[in-house]
Amino acid sequence: MTDYRAPTTDMRFTLEHVVGLDTLTSLDRFAHIDRDLLTGILDEASRFAREVIAPLATVGDTVGAVHNPDGTVTTPPGYKEAYQQFVEAGWPAAGFPEEIGGGGLPWVIASALQEMIIAADMGFALCPMLTAGTVDMLVQHGSDEQRATYLDKLVTSEWSGTMVLTEPQAGSDVGALITKATLADDGTYRIKGTKTFISWGEHDLTENTIHIVLARTPDAPPGTKGISCFIVPKYLVEADGSLGERNDITCVSIEHKIGIHSSPTCTLSFGDDGDGAIGYLIGEENRGMQYMFTMMNEARLSVGVEGLAASHRSYQQSADYAMERLQGRTIGGPRGEAAPIIKHPDVRRMLMLMRSNIEAMRGLLYSNALAIEESRYLTDEDARRKAENLAAILTPVSKAWATDLSVELTSLGIQIHGGAGYIEETGVAQWWRDARITPIYEGTNGIQAQDLAMRRIPLEGGEAIRQLLETVAVEASSLEGDLKPIGERLLAAAEACGEVTMTLGTWLLEEKYDDVLAGATPYLKMMGDTLGGWILARGARAAADGPDGYSDEFLADRIASATFYAEHILPTVPGLASSATAGAAGLYEIDEARFA
């Protein structure tokens, strides 16, 4: 297996010249961030990921987490020691505001750090990723007392956090949950029920785990309107901050999964031994789903980063293999002399598909993270509102487009290895197995597509998405010289997206919801591929300007990636329009009983 090498040069180029980090560094809050600091942070995070985290990936995959008879979970060898180093180095806190004890970096830079940790070992990275969502929940919706009790140790990741939503009978339909929360005389609640697919729900990396649990109070209305949100700690916390008795939470089992074997995916039972596990209400009753979206939207972007990270790890190993593996001869090459397979056109095609898509994914995901930060910190109300709308549109695209691509690209990594890729000893299959969960996490990709079509098209009366596509079109039209063919293909893709958006928007007004939903997934694919092309076009323009601090070869390669993407990916976008606007009738021509 190839040692992990973080793409720090491309990360820095993307931050500086593609997404526009200067919109944040111009603010007093982030004025301390300059190129030297950015370079130093990326280089040190790369070293840490390579030396401390990446060596865990193989043992994590082969040994996995172990569920013990007493209900505890043991992580693979080396995980506790690496996690302690991770916490002591301050990496989990880097992207949180200084006001709550964080490192004060904007989340877009923290996303780059997150990419490195995930690429090094996705199973390991899931634990602090979920803790970050718990921090966001408490910052935005917790009481002063709750923040004082839990926040410090969650920011540092000395304690971990979880999202406890799913139940066996409910799946993605969170409104069908039946876990009960009953008010006790002391003002706390007693939680009883069973939750499934809880990542890092039980483990030995931290001394306490703070579960954020969705449950229903006795008189709550049905569906999502009747859901409340609770803090349910693994160990109760005393007034002086010390740990008290263990709460009534039992890890019944962990799942045997395709990938991410080191990440324990738990079935948790609350309240088996008494009246229920002790929980503390966050905010008001029946507003839990609203609060939970605070965690889920952050997590959706992070899951998109998971797709990016797995794709890059697979690409890196595949490129190294292609340069070393001798097989076949090139056209016109000497007889009897095998060539490295990277010289063969089809292998080069697969590597270019991986590389160009990865650069597009990185730029789009970082742009999404930047928009989230701008929506929080920009002082100009119009600019802040525009950033908020952009983040709303990009989040479902980032999650679904990037993770669907990750399955495709990590599969290409196996293909480049040929038969050796299908052998576990090669190690390249792990990246595909790890990536395969990402289109399912945090709302399946079909749900993300529905969100884009049903909720983001009507945003601001349709103006938000129209303005985004207009921006893409204007930038595409402005490309000249050698970059003009990129602009022409990007413009055609943006126009196709605009036409489909108009059709789906009209159907929404006509309440033809099944027709909209039938086209939602191909529509999201169109938007993702187009926005990916927009990101690469921005990178090509910046590279053509020859910024300081980058080699001529690197800048030329960025232009080559954008050109390849424009030639091979963008022309497929208009072809998806007929699928996106076909309507729902064809989906129901075959009677459901005849699917058996």
Of 492, 481, 507, 510, the C-alpha closest to 580 is 507
Those residues with Cβ within 8 angstroms of residue 50's Cβ, 6 or more apart along the chain or in another chain: 3, 4, 5, 6, 120
Of 215, 221, 233, the C-alpha closest to 179 is 215
Spatial distance between the Cα atoms of 511 and 224, rounded to a whole number of angstroms: 22
Q: What is the signed CA dihedral for 198, 202, 207, 210, rounded to 10 degrees?
A: 30
Report the run of H or E that residue 270 belongs to, with start and end: strand 265-270
Distances (CA, A) of 164 to 150, 215, 270: 17, 9, 11
Mark out the alpha helices in 89-220 (DSSP H runs). Answer: 107-120, 122-141, 144-155
Please tell me whether residue 164 adopts helix, strand or coil conformation: strand
Spatial distance between the Cα atoms of 520 and 448, rounded to a whole number of angstroms: 9
The dihedral sign for the CA sequence 457, 462, 468, 469? positive
Spatial distance between the Cα atoms of 507 and 497, rounded to a whole number of angstroms: 15
Is the distance from CB of 489 to CB of 567 less than 8 angstroms?
A: yes
Catalytic residue, chosen from 81, 442, 510, 592, is: 442
* Catalytic (active site) residue 442: yes
Spatial distance between the Cα atoms of 51 and 53, rounded to a whole number of angstroms: 6
Q: Can you spell out the DSSP letters for 334-359?
A: PTT---BGGGSHHHHHHHHHHHHHHH
- Side chain identity at 245, as an amino acid letter? E
Mark out the alpha helices in 71-143 (DSSP H runs). Answer: 79-88, 107-120, 122-141
Spatial distance between the Cα atoms of 312 and 1, rounded to a whole number of angstroms: 14
Question: Which residue is associated with the tokens 């985004």?
Answer: 468
For 229-262, the three-class secondary structure string (H helix, E strand, C coil) is EEEEECEEECCCCCEEEECCEEEEEECCCCCCCC
Question: Where in the sequence numbering do the catalytic residues fall?
Answer: 442
